[in-house]
Amino acid sequence: MMKQMVMQRIAIGFATLAVVSVIVFVMTSWLPGDVASIILGQAATPETLAALRAQLGTDQPLIYQYIGWLGNMATGDLGISKAGGATISSLIESRIGNTMMMAGLVALISIPISIALGLWAAMHPGTWLDRMVTFGTLSTISVPEFLIATILVLILAVNLQWLPSTTYLTGEETLGQLLKAIAMPLFTLVIVVSAQMIRMTRAGILNVMNSPYIEMAILKGVPRKRIILRHAFFNAIGPIVNVIALNLAYLVSGVVIVETIFSYPGLAKLMIDAVQTRDLPLVQACAMIFCGVYVVLIILADVASILSNPRLRQPK
Amino acid sequence: MKDKILQNELKYENLDHVDKGIVDKVVRGGYTRRDALKLMVATGITMAAAENILYSGSVAYAATPKKGGSVRMANPIHGPDDQTDPMMFTSGIDYARGRAVLNGLVQHANDLSPQPELATSFEPNSDATEWTFKLRKGVEWHDGTKFTADDVVWSMNRHLSEDSTSVIKSVLVTVKEWKKVGSHEVKAVMHSPNSDLPTLLGMFQNKVIKDGTKGDWIGTGPFTMESFQPGVKSVHKRNENYWREGANLDACEITAITDPVARVNALIAGDIQIMSNVDPKSFRQVESASDRVTLLSTPAALQLGICILKNTKPGESDDFVKGMQYIQDRKRVVKRILKGKGSLGNDTPISASHGADWCSELPQREFDPDKAKFHFKKSGYSGADLFVAPVTAGIEDTCLLAQANCAKIGFKLNLKKVPNDGYWGAVWMKEPLNVVTWNQRPTANSQLALQFGPGGNWNDTFWNNDRMGELLSLSLAETDPAKRHAHFCEMQTLVHEGSGMVIPAFSNINDGIANNVMNMPTVPLGQCGAMEWPEFIWLA
| DSSP states along B347-390 | SSS--GGGGGGS-TTSPPPPP-HHHHHHHHHHHT-SEEEEEE--
Mark which residues 438-497 of B lie under 8 Å from A by CB.
Answer: 438, 457-458
Q: Flag the least confident range among B62-66, B363-367, B423-427.
A: B62-66
Residues 6 or more apart whose Cβ sits within 8 Å of residue B75:
B91, B92, B93, B96, B254, B255, B256, B276, B277, B527
Q: Which chain A residues are closer than 8 Å to B232 by Cβ?
A: 94-95, 265
Closest alpha carbon to B271 in B291, B292, B251: B292
- Report residue B7's pLDDT band, with 50, 70 and 90 as the boundaries: very low
Those residues of chain A that have pLDDT short of 50 are: none
Cα–Cα distance list, B295 to A201, B229, B280, B308, B314 (Å): 50, 29, 11, 34, 41
Q: Comparing C-alpha atoms, which of B131, B130, B115, B132 is closest to residue B182?
A: B132
In chain B, residues with a C-beta closer than 8 Å to the C-beta of A38 are 81, 422, 424-425
Distance from CA of B141 to the nearest CA of A (A): 23
Residue B270 neighbours by CB distance under 10 Å: 16
State mean pLDDT over B469-476: 88
Contacting residues of A for B421, CB less than 8 Å apart: 31, 276
Residues B291-297: what's their mean pLDDT?
Answer: 93
Q: Where residue B22 falls among pLDDT bands split at 50, 70, 90?
A: low
How open is the CA angle B74-B76-B78, to the nearest 5 degrees? Answer: 90
pLDDT of A25 reads: 84
B262 and A165 in contact by Cβ < 8 A? Answer: yes
Cα torsion B486, B488, B491, B492: sign = negative
- Tell if the CB–CB gap between A165 and B271 is shorter than 8 Å: yes
Residue A5: the pLDDT is: 78
Q: What is the pLDDT of residue B9?
A: 47
| Identity of the residue in A46, A85, A166 whose CB atom sits nearest the CB atom of B84 | A85
Which chain A residues are Cβ-neighbours of B251 within 8 angstroms?
none
Interface contact A144, partner B, CB < 8 A: no
Query: What backbone torsions phi and psi does residue B95 show, to the nearest 5 degrees?
Result: -60, -40
Q: Does B262 sit within 8 Å of A273, measured CB to CB?
A: no
Residue A81 contacts B, CB cutoff 8 Å:
yes
**With a CB-CB cutoff of 8 Å, which residues 208-267 of chain B face chain A?**
229-232, 255-259, 261-262, 265-266
Above 90 in pLDDT, residue B15?
no
Whole-angstrom distance between the N-terminal and C-terminal Cα of chain B? 36
| Residue A144: cis peptide before it, omega within 30 degrees of 0 | no
Contact check, Cβ <8 Å, B81/A84? yes
Q: Are A85 and B458 an interchain contact pair (Cβ–Cβ within 8 Å)? A: no
- CA B73 vs CA B97, B248, B352, B513: distances in Å: 11, 15, 29, 9
pLDDT at B159 over 60: yes
Name the pTM for this structure: 0.84
**For the range B27-31, what are the long-range contacts, defined as Cβ-Cβ under 8 Å and sequence gap of 24 or more?**
B27/B54, B27/B57, B27/B58, B27/B61, B28/B61, B28/B294, B28/B296, B28/B513, B28/B518, B28/B520, B29/B294, B29/B296, B29/B297, B29/B298, B29/B520, B29/B522, B30/B290, B30/B294, B30/B295, B30/B296
- Least confident window among B47-56, B405-414, B439-448: B47-56
Residue B396 and residue B495: Cα distance in Å, rounded? 24
How distant is the Cα of B269 from the closest Cα of chain A, in angstroms?
Answer: 5
* Residues on chain A touching B422 (C-beta within 8 angstroms): 31-33, 37-38, 278
Q: Which of B105, B143, B134, B150 is nearest to B241 (CA)?
A: B143
- pLDDT averaged over every residue in chain B: 87
Q: pLDDT value at position B6? A: 41
Q: What is the mean pLDDT of residues B49-56?
A: 54
How large is the average pLDDT for residues B281-290? 92
B169 with A262: Cβ contact below 8 A = no
A33 close to B (CB below 8 A): yes
Chain centroid, CA B23 distance in Å: 26
pLDDT band for B5, please (50, 70, 90 cuts).
Answer: very low
**Cβ neighbours of A273 in B, within 8 Å:** 79-81, 231
Task: Using a pLDDT cut of 70, give the percent of chain B over it.
Answer: 88
**pLDDT of res. A76:** 79
| Alpha-carbon gap: A21 to the closest alpha carbon of chain B (Å) | 20
- Distance, in Å, from the CA atom of A42 to the CA atom of A54, rounded to the nearest integer, reads 19
What is the reported pLDDT for B201?
Answer: 92
Residues 303-362 of B with CB under 8 A from A: none
Interface of A with B in 36-75 (CB under 8 A): 37-48, 51-52, 54-55
* pLDDT at A281 (0 to 100): 87
| Ranges A234-238, B463-467, B536-540: which has the least confidence | A234-238
Q: Where are the beta strands (DSSP E) in B68-193?
A: 70-75, 103-104, 106-108, 114-116, 119-124, 130-135, 175-182, 185-190
Q: How far is A75 from chain B (nearest CA, A)?
A: 23
* Closest-CA distance of chain A to residue B289, Å: 10
The answer to whether A8 faces chain B, any CB pair under 8 Å, is: no
CB–CB of A51 and B164 under 8 A?
yes
Q: In terms of CA atoms, which chain B residue is nearest residue A166?
A: B266
Range with lowest mean pLDDT among A163-167, B74-78, B132-136, B505-509: A163-167
Please state the rounded mean pLDDT for residues B234-256. Answer: 94
**Which pLDDT belongs to residue B4?**
40
Q: Find chain A residues with C-beta within 8 A of B259's C-beta.
A: 260-261, 263
From A78, A62, A75, select the one nearest A29 (Cα to Cα). Answer: A62
In this structure, what DSSP letter does residue B195 have? T
Is B50's pLDDT higher than 60? no
A252/B155 Cα distance (integer angstroms): 43
Q: Would the CB atoms of A48 and B166 count as touching at under 8 Å?
A: yes
**Which one of A40-54, B235-249, B413-427 scores highest in mean pLDDT?**
B235-249
On the question of pLDDT at B26 being above 70, the answer is no
Closest chain B residue to the Cα of A263, Cα to Cα: B257
Task: Work out the minimum CA distance from A297 to partner chain B, whole angstroms.
Answer: 28
Q: Residue B8 — pLDDT band, cuts 50, 70, 90? A: very low
Give pLDDT, residue A38.
Answer: 82
Contacts of A27 in chain B (CB under 8 A): none
With CB atoms and an 8 Å threshold, state whether B424 touches A41: yes
Decide: residue B17, CB within 10 A, 0-12 exposed, 13-18 middle, 19+ buried: exposed
Interface of A with B in 228-287 (CB under 8 A): 260-263, 265, 269-270, 273-274, 276-279, 282
The Cα–Cα gap between B92 and B263 comes to 15
Q: Give the Cβ contact number of residue B288 at 10 Å.
A: 10
The tens digit of pLDDT for each residue in B70-124 reads 999 999 988 888 999 999 998 899 999 999 999 999 998 888 888 899 999 999 9
B418 to chain A: nearest residue by CA?
A32
Nearest Cα of chain B lies from the Cα of A81 at a distance, in angstroms, of: 7
Nearest CA in chain B to A98: B232
Residues of A in contact with B256 (CB under 8 A): 263
Residues of B in contact with A277 (CB under 8 A): 79-81
ipTM of the assembly? 0.81
Chain B residues whose CB is inside 8 A of the A40 CB are 90, 165, 167
B222 SS3 class: coil
Residues in chain B within 8 Å Cβ distance of A269: 231
Instruction: With CB atoms and an 8 Å threshold, state whether B271 touches A168.
Output: yes
**The pLDDT of residue A104:** 92
Q: Reply yes or no on whether the pLDDT at B36 is more than 70.
A: no
> Is the minimum CB–CB distance between A99 and chain B shorter than 8 Å?
no
